Amino acid sequence: MDDGRAWVVWNGSIGMVDTAALGRVAQAGAGRIAWLAEPYEVVGPFSLDALEREGRVVFGACEVMSAAIWRETQEALRRQGQQRRRDQARRMARFALGDDGGAERESLGLAREGALTARDINSAFRRRAKSAHPDAGGDHDAYIRLTEARDALLARAAS
């Protein structure tokens, strides 16, 4: 379904802004859910009723909003996104300086010492991600940190 409207898609974690139309729409209980059209069809499902009523919905790292809301909030959203990216760059620099990965092991619930395989790391990540993911009621920033911990440990395990 294309409703003819261009919705603004903002991903502050990578600093990306674009427009997209609605893709698939389905009835779910008392409301409607939707996904964006290609190339953003992975953004969804979200409440189409909430999007139309409030002019914006948050979906993971993305926000989908009307052009009017984007114009009103873009400065603040861009600043927040820049701060998140700076924080991530600092964390990555810490890894480059030889941090032993203790904090990452701890966040995934792994032993502080000992060899790790990619399988160990991914299994620990999946266990924690079940409750940490925003779609499961978790916090977006905490989920990002969990993902970063997994990625850092996987990079170490591969080297």
All residues at 6 or more sequence positions from 84 whose CB lies less than 8 Å from its CB, including other chains:
12, 13, 141, 144
What confidence tens digit (pLDDT) does each residue in 30-84 have?
Answer: 899 999 999 988 888 999 999 999 999 987 778 999 999 999 999 999 999 898 8
Bridge partners, 102 (sequence order): none
Q: What is the pTM of this model?
A: 0.56
Rounded Cα distance between 36 and 43, Å, is 6
Given a cut of 60, whether residue 139 has pLDDT beyond it is yes
pLDDT tens sequence across 74-114: 999 999 989 888 887 776 665 544 455 788 888 888 888 77
Domains and CATH numbers, the chain: 7-71 (no CATH), 99-158 (1.10.287.110)
